[in-house]
Amino acid sequence: MASIRNLYGLSVEELSEALSPLEPRPFTARQIAAHLYARRLLDFDRMTDLPAKLRAELARSFTIQLPSPAETLVSRDGTTRYVLSLPSAGSVEAVFIPSGKRATLCISSQSGCALGCTFCMTGTLGLLRHLSSGEIAGQVALLMDLHRLRPNCFNIVFMGMGEPLHNYQALKAALRLLCDRRTGFGISPGHITVSTAGLAPAIEKLAAEEIVPRLAVSLNATTDEARSRIMPINKSYPILSLMEACGKFLREAGQRLTLEYVMLSGVNDSREDLPRLARLASSLPARVNLIPFNATPELPFQPSPMEQVRRFRDGLLKRGVRASIRASRGPDIRAACGQLSFGAPGDGAAGTGRGESAAGKNRRASDPPEAAMERAAAGELVAR
């Protein structure tokens, strides 16, 4: 028996093609897209501007499915981590981060990650699979509904699982759904940040797109020798080529660019690293976001002392570089930067990413997070 096609995530053009056997009029596809994305109606019966007969045919021929919560964990600081079951197969994680009047949604683009950054727990999973545009945008829709959010009253950061630019076409399609003001979510690209480990060709490609979000580049070292040790992608796209791609993005895209710098004790926090980091940031120019490392027993790093992190921030500011320190949110539920790996706080093991979490399970964390996964090997990558 053939599976029923899921319409969620299809563009207006794709909807028109899928609906053509039932409804040849192109404006019907626009109506359905607006229902799915702008109004977030997930039941054909509620699309009351469509003829009743067509609604019945749609219900027989198609389905509307988004990621759904399998497990919810709430941090002491209000951050919420969701383990989501995907409509087709597998799981992924997304994080809701409250902050005053404007929340942040941390969204995943892949289940797992292939890049193998040695300080990131997601990299220990390897790449389980790419997400579709509907699975990416569906995370946003789900969190908007769960937390009663209106468009442009929150920020979206693609800093969850995966390398967004390694899943380029699905990311591009998801951005179109999120930003379209007529039939999409109507979110401004200025409220969306895509984080990348440094796929230089894809950064340049992104700069030329019709919809261009803000960009955050995970730098994390000031020399190729150090960066290649902790980020294998640097062997393909070393710092010089990465900075050239970042410069092109700034010249062509008209969006902001941030250099992210996870501070690892004895690895990238030396006295010599500070002026080198300042020179790299000034050459673009770019803001620097210093990220205290969220330690786990399985990864061979320790966080730089906060005194050293502040010294870096102050040193950058004195050199004319805009710099800030990222507050760690949700470390007690393993929701903080670099911790997403399907593990439960305090259970001593990370998950496999294949949806073992009990459906509907809710926990409030009380113990520090732990994980246990062997690091997966990563090959050289290009954007797909």
Q: How far apart are CA 43 and CA 40, in angstroms?
A: 9
**93: annotated active-site residue:** yes
> CB of 164 within 8 A of CB of 185?
no
* Three-state SS at 146: helix
Q: How far apart are CA 158 and CA 71, in angstroms?
A: 20
Q: What is the DSSP string of 12-66?
A: HHHHHHHHTTT---HHHHHHHHIIIIIS----GGG-TTS-HHHHHHHHHHEE---
Q: How far apart are CA 180 and CA 168, in angstroms?
A: 18
Q: How far apart are the first and last CA of the chain?
A: 31
Amino acid of residue 101 = K
> CB of 282 within 8 A of CB of 238?
no
Q: How many other β-carbons are positioned within 10 Å of the β-carbon of residue 245? A: 24
Q: How far apart are CA 181 and CA 241, in angstroms?
A: 35
> CB of 364 within 8 A of CB of 383?
no
* Three-state SS at 243: helix
Tell me which of 23, 71, 93, 163 is the catalytic residue: 93
Burial 248-287 (b: 16+ CB within 10 A, else e): ebbeebebebbbbbbbbeebbbeeebbebbbebbeebebb
Q: How many other β-carbons are positioned within 10 Å of the β-carbon of residue 349? A: 14
Residue 174 tokens read as: 């998801």
Q: How far apart are CA 203 and CA 308, in angstroms?
A: 31
What's the half-sphere exposure (Cβ side, CA atoms, 13 Å) at 273?
26
Which DSSP category does 194 fall into?
E
> CB of 63 within 8 A of CB of 4?
yes
The residues that are catalytic are: 93, 337
